[in-house]
Structures are given as structure tokens and as C-alpha cells.
Amino acid sequence: MGRGNRSASISNKWRCCYPSYYLKRPKRLALLFIAFVFVSFFVWDRQTLLREHQVEVADLRKELTDLQNLLEDLNNAQGGAVGKIGLGGKNIKPIKDVPDDPIDTQRREKVKEAMLHAWGSYEKYAWGQDELQPQSKSGVNSFGGLGATLIDSLDTLYIMGLHEQFEKAKEWVSSSLDFNKDYEASVFETTIRVVGGLLSAYDLSGDKVFLDKARDIADRLLPAWNTSTGIPYNIINLSHGDAHNPGWTAGDSILADSGTEQLEFIALSQRTGDPKYQQKVENVITQLNKIFPEDGLLPIYIDPNSGTTNPSPITFGAMGDSFYEYLLKVWIQGNKTSAVKNYRDMWEKSMNGLLTLIRRSKPSSFAYICEKDGDSLSDKMDELACFAPGMLALGSSGFDPDKSQKFLSLAEELAWTCYNFYESTPTKLAGENYFFHSGQDMSVGTSWNILRPETVESLFYLWRLTGNKTYQEWGWNIFQAFEKNSRVESGYVGLKDVNSGVKDNMMQSFFLAETLKYLYLLFSPSSVIPLDQWVFNTEAHPLRIVARNEGEHVENSNEKHKSFSRLRGRKEGLVG
């Protein structure tokens, strides 16, 4: 329409507003009245329809929310294979559609039932105490009364969808967990079990009570790092803050105990915005890097005052193991950025050193990791060292293709050896360590089994990274051996002797934290705790991966936090 026609149209429109216009035209007035009634009815009808539509939309949204919650519950029941659907038909968090094998589903439910049996027994006979003694149906405070089994189990309960049990445990943490205890705590054990367990529960659920408690216990541990080098003492009084090393180390700190707090304390700094935790533990790696040998293999005893090592064994078993594990996992935790490249560099040196410790038995050619003392190698391997196949598989992708395949193949060889630690005994459960003699392959050394998780842990990683279902079969065989030999009326116990099957009277907290969790994940789709979004600490507590940049300032990530979609000495040999 041109400008002139538009002006004429406006003029005609406004002419109808004068009363005389209608008085001279009664027919028009009648027609207008009829039109007015019609329009009024139409508007009223549209408003009514709109209100009804709004109610209907609200009802549909509610139904969609209910369906979404149902899907999330199915997600848990089916191991996380169901996606979370958002409004508008869009995927909030797309995940790969992985068909769930009916056999895997059945096995996963069996593991879940085992967890319910273990947890229910703990709840009945040892609630709030550190560990359950199933044979005597009593609790024992082997970690100073910090509720070790309860805290260690939080993320396992959550991942398995046992929300009623999780909520009850959370209430205990909120109302009863008290760290002000006159107790000489292991910095290492307290960090991996308690700090790690609380942080994982926070990352999964988003409930701040877990973060607050993690910060409380970490603050009580921090004085252990107040040495001239910053390499921590390994024992601290939780009430007084007095720190020292065990008498049997002649004042030295232990390699694994001093180099296995990085994941937890870095994560705590990221989630609280307070850099002090990260600074303390990263300084340890800086100090150890100053004395790091070309083969990347450190003796297990370190002087916390001079920062130098003292003559002692080199091992991937007790007192050495998780130091090497954390070099790799801090690199993963930092999303493999340049800020954490030094960890990867140190780890690669150590893996080249590990190659020098590999021997193969006769006649079956089982690959195993020797221990080294001075210039001599010992043909002994701890079951604790069976974490190494999983670690090698997890880190293999960071090498060039040829080296990657070399380390992955070694991981598979070592996993076969570790599985045979189980298969070689009458009970089909592994002993604590093994010796290799020419012409005899492997023989049990220390013959107890305390429900350790290391072999199952490696089977989990190898299955996730290769898709080879053989590792699931091996894991299922191990689970059945635990069911046959370790399950009792009131929980699970270890064996005093894997040859005779004589039982002990302890359900280690890591059986719920690690062994059952890794078995459950072994039969769950890879979308449950995906390895590109989570990293497991050495007590199997998953922590969210957060990218790090060079020289970045640690920021409080609380407000950005997103919860997981619903769905011992642990590393030390026992004395005696």
C-alpha cells in the first residue's frame, strides 16, 4: 500500500468514532451491536480455551517431569543406559545408546544384592563404626571411629540406585560424624577413604554437607605437610594436629603415603575455591621431581626433612603402588592440559622403568612385576600390584600408536597373571602375594585374602577400554568365588588361608567401596561413570574431571556444580 492510500485509510477509520455517524445509520448500529456481542463471546471463549490450554500444558509438563523422574529411576535400574529427556524433546545430556546385555543386567543385579547384604549387615551390627566383624556380629573402630565403611560406601550406594540407604547414611554424616577425635590417623588412609568418599558423594549428589565435612577433615590433616620440604608426615592426631612418622620407618615418610593425596586435595581446592589444599600436595610432586631418577622408580622411604630417598625397596606393591597411579590420574583429572603435563611426563618415565622390572615365568610365561632392592630383583609380586594392568591400559592412549599397543599388550598379559592368582588356588581367591620360581610358575606366598579389589579394578578398565567380554567373565568368576567362600550370614569376610578356606572376622571397608563397585560397573554400560568425565581415586571414589590451565586461579565451582544424573591398610601390607 502506498503512502497516500495509507493516509486515506486512517481517516476513514477514525470517522467511525463519532456518535452522529451511528445515529444517522440505525442499521449499522444494530449490526455493530451484533458484531460486538459476537466478538465478546469469541474473546471470552478464547480466554476460556487459553486458561484450559494453560492448565493442560501445566499438566503435560508435570507428566513430563514424572516421566523424566521415571526414566532416571530406570537409568539406575538399567545401569545408566537411559538418556535424560528435557523439555522440547531435546537431550539435556546426550549419551551413547548402549544396548544392555540381559546377562550383564542379571549379573549386575546379583552384585547389587551382594552390596545390600553387606550394607544391611553393617547397618544392623556396626552402624556408624568403622568396620563390621561379621562372625562376631560386632563393630570395630579401626580408623578412630570415623565411620569408614559408611563413608566409603556412599558413592557405591548412590551409583547402584540405593537411595533410601544413601539418604540414611547422609543423615548420619550430617548429624553424627565428628572429626574432633584424639586419634593418631593415617594421613593416607584418611584421605583416600574419608576425604575421597565425601568428595565423591558431593560430586554425585550435589549435597553440600559432604563438601563441608570433607573440608573439615582436610583442615585437620593439613599440619602433616608442615615439614622443611613440604613432604608430609604420615601420621597425625586429628584433635591436636601433632604429626610424625611411624616408628618402624626410622623417621622416614613412605612414598605411597606421601604421593597419594593429590587427586583429593586438588579436587577440594577446585570445589571450595581455596588454593591451600592444592598447593600443599602439588609441592610434594615438585619436591619429588627434583630427585626423580631417569627410570622414574623411587625407593619407598623418603626423608621429609632433606627430601632425599633412603635405601629401601622399589615396588609397585605395598607402599609404592598408588604414587605411580596418581601421576597418571592427576593428568587425567586436569583434563590432560598443559598445566598437568609434568605429571604425565613423570608417569611415562616410571612406566619405562616398570618395563625393566618385567619378567616371565616358566613354563607358562606369566608376565609379572618384580620388586627391586639395590641392584637385585626379587621374583615376588603383590596382589596389590594388580592395579597396574588397569593403570597401563588407562594411560596407553597417551603414547604414540606403537608404544600404546606395547603397553596395552603388557596390561593384558599382567591381567592374565593376576586372574591366575585367583584361578591357581583351591578357593579361586588370590593370596596376598606370589613368588615365581623357575619351572614352577607361581606359588602363593602370604596366603590370606582380605577381599581386595585390585584385580577386579584392572578387569573393569580393560573391559571399558577394549570391549573384550573375556574380562567380564573373569570378573564374574571372581565374584562367584567371593560368594562361595566369603559370604556369611552377617556380611562378607576374608580368608586366613586361600588354600584351606578358613575364614577371618573382618569385612574391610574397601570391599564395599571398591570390590563390589568395580564388579557392578564391570556389568554396567560404559555410560555409567564414563571415563572421559570421571577419574577414580585409589579407593575407587569417582571425582569429576575439571580442566586446568597454566597459571590459573582456583575458583569456587560450587555454583557450577551439577550432580550425577540419578539413575585396610588399603594399599599397605598387613603387619603380623
Interval 364-418: pLDDT, tens: 999 999 999 999 999 999 999 999 999 999 999 999 999 999 999 999 999 999 9
Whole-number pLDDT of residue 98? 52
What value does the mean pLDDT of the chain take? 85
| Residue 73 Cα to chain centre, angstroms | 20
> What phi and psi values does residue 551 have, to the nearest 5 degrees?
70, 15
Q: Which DSSP state fits 540?
A: S
Nearest to 186 by CA among 568, 575, 508: 568
CB 417 within 8 A of CB 366: yes
- Whole-number Å distance between alpha carbons of 145 and 217: 13
Helix axes 163-176, 208-221, angle to 10 degrees: 50
**Residue 84 pLDDT exceeds 70:** no
Share of the chain above pLDDT 90, in %: 77
Q: Which position has the higher pLDDT, 57 or 490?
A: 490
pTM of the model: 0.82
CB 514 within 8 A of CB 568: no
pLDDT band at 3 (very low <50, low <70, confident <90, very high): very low
**Residue 139 pLDDT exceeds 80:** yes
Q: What is the DSSP string of 460-472?
A: HHHHHHH--THHH
**Residue 62 pLDDT exceeds 90:** no
Lowest pLDDT segment from 29-33, 413-417, 474-478: 29-33
Q: Kindly state the average pLDDT of the residues 40-48.
A: 47
- Whole-number Å distance between alpha carbons of 568 and 125: 20
**Catalytic residue set:** 189, 321, 432, 454
Report yes or no on 193 lying in a domain: yes
- Whole-number Å distance between alpha carbons of 144 and 389: 33
Whole-number pLDDT of residue 21? 38
Number of domains composing the chain = 1
- Structural domain boundaries enclosing 407: 106-544
Whole-number pLDDT of residue 438? 87
- Whole-number Å distance between alpha carbons of 563 and 576: 43
- Whole-number Å distance between alpha carbons of 419 and 471: 9
- Whole-number Å distance between alpha carbons of 292 and 256: 15
Share of the chain above pLDDT 70, in %: 78
538 is in an annotated binding site: yes
Q: What is the pLDDT of residues 483-495, one digit of tens each?
A: 999 999 999 999 9
- Whole-number Å distance between alpha carbons of 124 and 259: 36
Q: Which DSSP state fits 497?
A: -
Report yes or no on 271 lying in a domain: yes
CB 386 within 8 A of CB 454: yes
**Residue 463 pLDDT exceeds 70:** yes
Report yes or no on 195 lying in a domain: yes
Q: Kindly state the average pLDDT of the residues 436-447.
A: 94
CB 197 within 8 A of CB 154: yes
Whole-number pLDDT of residue 478? 98
**Residue 28 pLDDT exceeds 80:** no
Whole-number pLDDT of residue 549? 78
CATH number at 279 reads 1.50.10.10
CB 231 within 8 A of CB 284: yes
Q: What is the pLDDT of residues 265-310, one digit of tens each?
A: 999 999 999 999 999 999 999 999 999 999 999 999 999 999 999 9
Residue type at position 204: L
- Whole-number Å distance between alpha carbons of 431 and 454: 12
- Whole-number Å distance between alpha carbons of 34 and 201: 69
CB 538 within 8 A of CB 569: no
Q: What is the pLDDT of residues 506-553, one digit of tens each?
A: 999 999 999 999 999 999 999 999 999 999 999 999 999 999 876 555
**Residue 155 pLDDT exceeds 50:** yes
CB 260 within 8 A of CB 191: yes
Report yes or no on 6 lying in a domain: no
CB 527 within 8 A of CB 80: yes
Q: How far apart are the first and last CA of the chain?
A: 100
Cell reading at 380? 615376588
Q: Kindly state the average pLDDT of the residues 191-212.
A: 98
Q: Which position has the higher pLDDT, 74 or 499?
A: 499
Whole-number pLDDT of residue 14? 33
Report yes or no on 132 lying in a domain: yes
Q: What is the DSSP string of 184-250?
A: EEEHHHHIIIIIHHHHHHHHHH--HHHHHHHHHHHHHHGGGG-SSSSPPPSEEETTT--EE--GGGT
Pairs from 175-179 (Cβ < 8 Å, separation ≥ 24): 176/128, 176/147, 177/146, 177/147, 177/151, 177/213, 179/146, 179/213, 179/216, 179/217, 179/220, 179/238
Nearest to 148 by CA among 452, 513, 454: 513
Whole-number pLDDT of residue 241? 97
pLDDT band at 554 (very low <50, low <70, confident <90, very high): low
Nearest to 194 by CA among 215, 180, 176: 215
Residue type at position 557: S
Whole-number pLDDT of residue 33? 57
- In 321-426, which ranges are continuous DSSP H helix? 321-333, 341-355, 388-396, 401-423
Q: Which position has the higher pLDDT, 73 or 499?
A: 499
Report yes or no on 563 lying in a domain: no
**Residue 20 pLDDT exceeds 50:** no
What's the residue count for the chain? 576
Report yes or no on 56 lying in a domain: no
